[in-house]
Structure 1
Amino acid sequence: MTVPPIRCGGGVIEFGRRTMIMGIINMAPDSFAGDGLAGDAEAAEARGREMGAAGADLLDVGGRSTRPRASPVDVEEELRRTIPAVRRLAGIGLPVSVDTTYSRVAAAALDAGAVMVNDVSGLRADPGMAPLVSRTGVPVVVMDWEDRYLARDVLHDTATFLRERIRAATAAGIAETQIVVDPGYGFGLTLAQDFEILRRLRELRALGRPVLIGTSRKGSIGRVLNLPVHDRLEGTAATVAVAIVNGADMVRAHDVRAISRVARMTDAIVRGLAERVADTT
């Protein structure tokens, strides 16, 4: 099932023809992936330009780490880290998403040029977030971040949660056609549950919304391969390929050049894109 496009800024993001690549730009100093820019807006712009040249379709800018036991960040600090970077990135020609659970940060980012909100709390952390998204009409990513260690059927529970969040969002005035869902790979899940989500990802297509997934450099890869966070590219590539085979519309990536190539190759196999590639053999 192909999902309809979402309106984003002055254009649209279409799904189904190929996998969209969301480049990750961490402005926190304690990013789990070890790539945090600690609020350096100039470095963020440089990284964004590199990601655009490497194949990113949009950029996701966040000002705090979501890893377990990360230090909490208040609104003012997140604003300080995030908004100058968003302002600079908005000028490079790619849609910019802001990764935040604070409505004040989201509002400031939208004013600075962002065109999408990525709320890992599923619009639950801040009661002002849903009204903001409704009022501005921007696309929003809603993620399942519930702890599901004891779940008997993790995909069923995740789908149920996301379906409820879609209902809550539309009740708040958000157009359903502007909602993207994220199953929350690596959040409150066991290793087996992470991989079950990958294997059964296509079941989320029943929600009728684009599916975003972020496996990049996650702990599950490190546990299987016994590798540190900076050495998980091949493992990330494997998870991305499986996610695309099983229905992902968009993937988050730190290593955009490599993951863009993985996505292009996988798309050529599973989305029928091979017919559009010149036969050079």
Structure 2
Amino acid sequence: MTLYLRPIALVDSPQAMEGGAVRIAGGLTYASHFALIRRDGARVVARQVLGAGDVPSALAALSGDDREEAQAQWDGLRASRKALQLGERQIRMDQPQVMGILNITPDSFSDGGRYGSDLEAALAHAGAMQEAGAAIIDIGGESTRPNAAPVWEGDEIARVVPVVEKLSVTGAAISVDTRRVGVMEAALAAGAGAGPQLWNDVSALRHDPRSLDYAAKAGIPVGLMHAPGRGEDLHADAHYSDVVLDVFDWLRERRDAAEAAGIARDMILLDPGIGFGKSLAENLALMNALPLFHALGCPLLVGASRKRMIGALSHEAPADQRLGGSLALALQMAAAGVQVIRVHDVAETAQALRVWRGMRDGALTDFSQIVD
């Protein structure tokens, strides 16, 4: 039997429920009700809806391992997330942060390889994203879209390292999006090693057998993303009995493997892998269930910018015409308490999040009440 504690009713502020709401992950998201879900194998066998004030007694009534796991999830939901120290930059995890995507590839699905062969253009774009509000720049030298051709490690290094070398001089917070230890080693040696930076691995440190050990010894934060496939095709072998709970279990296993290797929990970011081996319905289910993943006790890093699901919901709009859908998904992530939102359109996303933050702050200071 496996237990899950899922926030199911989010509110704008704790006073909206007269104090009967829990702050999620130390951020700007509050939940008033939770579902305690029991699963036996692949089958959900029970679902109990609890008000925030009823959760402690319900957990106390559980026995043995069930109580321990449910309590760990309850603690994970309520614990504040420690700020990330990326180089000279401290990235707070108590509010949504924008991660700007910089694809140094000739076959990017989103920008047609615009920055793959022009170092100056890539650096100018990175600078523009920083000025527009990106807290982190995520540099990738390999396309991970469906059916993308694999990239030789040497080519990936040749694409990524010059950008890292130049960008690190500016003091930018840098993330390197790679599955390969050799690429991460070269990036750190090139300048990202000025301080701990972020290794954003779409294979969740599975692709290279040295990855877990290297990340632990390097002392760098890691982003672990769910993808069903192994080897070169991360989109393969996608079979789910319940996509939300299956991905939760998978990410818990990768979190535990990272901790067992010596990576501290506050150095682990978890990503449900929107668009990787998931159907439209499965992607939507994950987007609606994002608050559940805070129960794993790690910051969340989620990217859905310009992805295929937006085209599927908007008359097959091409990738460069998916801004509206990308913003809708980014705001859904913010409302769910996601700490790092990975996007292509930084200026528009940052503006949307500033307005969202203003409304959330307004809700926190709204003390309207009946006066006798």
Normalising by structure 2, report the TM-score: 0.71
User: Residue 202 of structure 1 contacts residue 246 of structure 1 at CA under 8 Å; is this kept in 2?
Assistant: yes
CA drift of 1:155 comes to 1.2
By percentage of residues, which structure has more strand? 2
Report how far residue 94 of structure 1 moved. 1.6
Superimposed CA distance per residue, residues 235-279 of structure 1 (whole angstroms, 9 cap, x where no aligned partner): 100111111111211111111000111122223334x36669xxx
Question: Cα offset for 1:194?
Answer: 0.6
Q: Does 1:122 align with 2:204?
A: yes
Asked if 1:206 is matched to 2:292, the reply is no
Shift of 1:93: 2.7
Given that 1:39 and 1:82 are in contact with CA atoms closer than 8 Å, whether structure 2 keeps it comes out as no
**Is 2:347 the counterpart of 1:265?**
no
Determine the C-alpha separation between the residues in 2 that align with 1:220 and 1:78: 28
User: In terms of Rg, which structure is larger?
Assistant: 2
* Contact 2:86–2:174 (CA under 8 A) maintained in structure 1: no
2:124 is aligned with 1:46? yes
Q: Which runs of 5+ in 2 are unaligned?
A: 1-24, 27-80, 229-235, 366-372
1:26-41 aligned within 5 A = 26-36=103-113, 37-41=115-119
Offset, 1:158: 0.8
Number of paired residues?
A: 274
Alignment partner of 1:102 is 2:191: no
Does the aligned pair in 2 maintain the 1:186–1:220 contact within 8 Å? yes
Partner-residue secondary structure (3-state), 1:180: strand
Q: 2:223 corresponds to which letter in structure 1?
A: V
2:221 aligned partner: 139
Q: Structure 2: how far apart are the matches of 1:64 and 1:83? A: 13
Task: Note if contact 2:87-2:171 (Cα within 8 Å) is conserved in structure 1.
Answer: no
Tell whether the 8 Å contact from 1:7 to 1:138 is kept in structure 2 after alignment.
no
Within 1, Cα distance between the matches of 2:238 and 2:223?
23
Decide whether the 8 Å contact of 2:88 with 2:171 is kept in 1: no
Percent of residue pairs bearing the same amino acid type: 39
Give the counterpart of 1:88 among 145, 158, 166.
166
Moved over 4 A (4+): 273-276
Instruction: Choose 162-171 or 32-41, whichever is displaced more.
Output: 32-41
The aligned counterpart of 1:254 is 344
Q: String of CA shifts for 1:140-191, please: whole Å, max 9, x gaps.
A: 1000011575312111111111111111111111111111111100100000
Partner SS, residue 220 of structure 2: coil
The one of 135, 148, 162 aligned to 1:57: 135
Q: Distance in 2 between matches of 1:149 and 1:108?
A: 32
Query: 2:362 and 2:138 mapped to 1: Cα distance?
Result: 27
Q: Find 2:256's aligned residue among 167, 172, 187.
A: 167
Greater relative contact order, per chain length (Cα 8 Å cut-off, separation 6+)? 1
Aligned residue identity for 2:352:
V
Q: Provide the rounded CA distance (Å) in 1 between the counterparts of 2:126 and 2:205.
A: 26
Partner residue, 2:64: none
- Pick from 261, 280, 297: which aligns with 1:191? 280
- Stretches of structure 1 that go unaligned for 5 or more consecutive residues are 277-281
CA distance in 2, matches of 1:61, 1:81: 10
Aligned to 2:90: 12
2: CA distance, partners of 1:140 / 1:218: 23
> 2 CA distance for matches of 1:120 and 1:253?
15
1:117 is paired with a residue whose SS is strand
Residue 238 (structure 1) aligned to one of 311, 320, 328 = 328
2 CA distance for matches of 1:153 and 1:216? 24
- Offset of residue 63 of structure 1: 0.3
Q: Distance in 2 between matches of 1:273 and 1:118?
A: 34
Partners of 1:197 and 1:135 in 2: CA distance: 32
* TM-fit CA distance, 1:4: 1.9
- Corresponding position of 1:279: none
What secondary structure sits across from 2:313 in the alignment? helix
Assess if the C-alpha contact under 8 Å between 1:22 and 1:56 holds in 2.
Answer: yes
